Amino acid sequence: MSPRSFPRLFMLLHLTAALVAAVPVSSSSAGGVNSTSQPIDATFARRLPQALIIGAKKSGTRALLAFICMHPDVQAPGPEVHFFDRNYHRGLDWYRKRMPASLPSQLTMEKTPGYFISESAPSRVHSMNPDTRLVLVVRDPVTRILSDYAQASANAAGGSSRRRNRRNRRRKNRRKHRRRQAGRRGSSIKPIESLAFRSRPGNGSQPELLEVSANWTAVRIGEYARHLANWLAVFPRQQILVLSGERLVADPGAVMEELQRFLGLELIITGRHFYFDRRKGFHCLKKAGRRGKPRCLAGNKGRRHPNLAPELIRRLRQFYAPKNREFYAMTGVNFGWPEL
Ligand code: A3P
């Protein structure tokens, strides 16, 4: 039975599985799809991914995966597998076992934003399969830094939401206590100003200069042109879909249509699958069927960003302006990120 023959029925069943697979809503869902049990039968088997969401971190990679997983012809593991950047030595068979079982008609996808900035990943992906379709979602690199910092400080203060969900009440209370103690001692992560900038001492007539810390990973990730060049050295441009994270937030239906076309999928996920959730401040998935519940992404998506003085924001924008223009030229897409 092909899922294409029963799109509605299959979609209802699949929607539940997809949310479990791709949205870290609860502890039980986070790792549920990754068991390494054997294939159920010869046609329903674990397969290497034919498409990857390679990055960029904090640009909407989870939303993109969660939304495309609503498609009946897509399967993906929930957690990031980090095969091409951290686990390559484990071999392709290890990687394949991390994939959920799929039908031959389905597309297996994986997302690990770390791939985008890994220098080894492009050739490794190519040697797995030179036809792998690559998806890159990017957002204004300055906002991306703020988002990255918000995540790092949340993690430093007590762990990611997935970990939080996994722990029992007793451990939760203990952590709350530790967090209170840490709060008393002061922040557990350096202020963003001192991570994103460093001062260069002035000489005589020249005052001290504040310059962007280009080596800080959060700054480095936003140098999109530099990382994309590594991928374009190995893959043709048309094999890489570059999407706007800002557009994904504003109009997920339109972005999903673009993604489905690129992946050669039947156009099933459209704007009709989303509603804007005022409390969350983002689009969420509409309920599937009579008993389904509407689902928003977990609370670790859409965090409050730190405040950075307008002058420092301006300096970051100046730092990125020429790099962004280079990226627009490379991709043929003007993302229109502010330069001042
Ligand atoms: P913020 O937390 O800064 O708002 P990633 O999944 O790559 O870590 O990206 C996280 C970002 O996804 C969030 O960054 C948020 O802006 C964006 N995003 C896009 N669509 C979203 C949605 N429907 N719900 C929640 N976050 C979404």
| pLDDT band at residue 334 using 50, 70 and 90 as cut-offs | very high
- Does any domain span residue 226? yes
301 in a labelled binding site: yes
Which residue range forms the structural domain that includes residue 197? 3-14+43-331
- Does any domain span residue 133? yes
- Does any domain span residue 28? no
Q: Is the pLDDT of residue 90 over 60?
A: yes
244 in a labelled binding site: no
Given phi > 0 = left and psi -120 to 50 = alpha, else beta, which region is 159? Answer: left
Write down the H helix ranges in 186-241: 192-196, 217-221, 224-232
pLDDT of residue 287: 77
- Does any domain span residue 177? yes
| pLDDT band at residue 29 using 50, 70 and 90 as cut-offs | very low
Q: Is the pLDDT of residue 9 over 70?
A: no
| Distances in whole angstroms, Cα of residue 90 to Cα of each of 38, 81, 95, 120, 221 | 18, 12, 8, 15, 26
pLDDT of residue 20: 38
Q: Residue 293 has what DSSP assignment? A: -
Residue 280 annotated to the active site:
no
Q: By alpha-carbon position, which residue is closest to atom 23 of ligand 1?
A: 283
In the predicted model, what is the mean pLDDT of the chain? 85
Half-sphere exposure of 54 (CA within 13 A, CB side): 29
Residues 232-239: contacts with CB within 8 Å, 24+ apart? Answer: 232/330, 233/122, 234/122, 234/123, 234/125, 234/126, 235/122, 235/125, 235/126, 235/130, 235/132, 235/134, 237/331, 237/332, 239/131, 239/132, 239/133, 239/134
Q: Is 58 touching ligand 1 by the criterion CB < 6 Å?
A: yes
pLDDT of residue 180: 55
- Does any domain span residue 25? no
What is the C-alpha separation between 171 and 176, in angstroms, rounded?
9
- Does any domain span residue 158? yes
- Which of 301, 304, 305, 307 for mutating ligand 1's site (highest number of atoms within 8 Å of CB)? 301
Q: How many C-beta atoms surround the C-beta of residue 212 within 10 A?
A: 17
Residue range 30-73, pLDDT digits in tens: 232 333 444 455 589 999 999 999 999 999 999 999 999 999 99
Residue range 239-285, pLDDT digits in tens: 999 999 999 999 999 999 999 999 999 999 999 999 999 999 999 99
As beta bridge partners, residue 313 has none
What is the C-alpha separation between 75 and 18, in angstroms, rounded?
8
- Does any domain span residue 23? no
User: Which of 58, 172, 176, 286 does the annotation list as catalytic?
Assistant: 58
CATH number at residue 180: 3.40.50.300
- Does any domain span residue 298? yes
pLDDT of residue 187: 52
Domains held by the chain: number: 1
